[in-house]
Amino acid sequence: MLLRKGSVVALEGPLGVGKTTFARGVLRGLGVDDPITSPTYTLVNEYELPAADDSAARMAYHVDLYRIERSIEFELVGSDELLNGEAIAIVEWSEKAASLLPAHAIFVRFSIEPGGARNITVTGPENADTGN
């Protein structure tokens, strides 16, 4: 999956399935060396990214919508800026604000099978370059 300026990664799945661990892995892959903590209580954590050139994103937002009840709560804290700017946004519990997600969002859906095996399904817009 190739992430660029403005990429939005929408993570969906039940509690304890690995969304935060996945987000940490993505952020590490983007070059974040700082401690990466869950933004469950702060809603948004932001990270500076090392940029190879001017076309690379300079910021990444890790958003956790677990504690919101309605999408308006996310709108009030600046969803438009977080999801439609030049930063990369990784959004846990994105289904809680599905109507706010941009058309170019990449969806990563997690599920747990009987017996504990985890499945991860990645989908996105048809014209997305996923780097595969």
C-alpha 105, offset from chain centre: 9
Q: How many structural domains is the chain composed of?
A: 1
Within a domain: 99: yes
Q: For residue 28, what is the domain's CATH number?
A: 3.40.50.300
Q: Is residue 130 one of the residues assigned to a domain?
A: no
Residue 36 domain-assigned (yes or no) = yes
Please report whether residue 131 resides in a domain.
no
Average pLDDT, the chain: 89
Question: Residues 78-100: pLDDT tens digits?
Answer: 899 999 999 999 999 999 999 99
131 pLDDT tier (thresholds 50, 70, 90): very low
Residue given tokens 């969803």 in the structure block: 79
* Domain encompassing residue 24: 8-123
Let me know: does 107 contact 128? Beta carbons within 8 Å.
no
Task: Give the model confidence (pLDDT) of 30-68 as tens digits.
Answer: 999 999 999 988 999 999 999 766 778 899 999 999 999
Q: Is residue 2 part of a domain?
A: no
Domain contains 65: yes
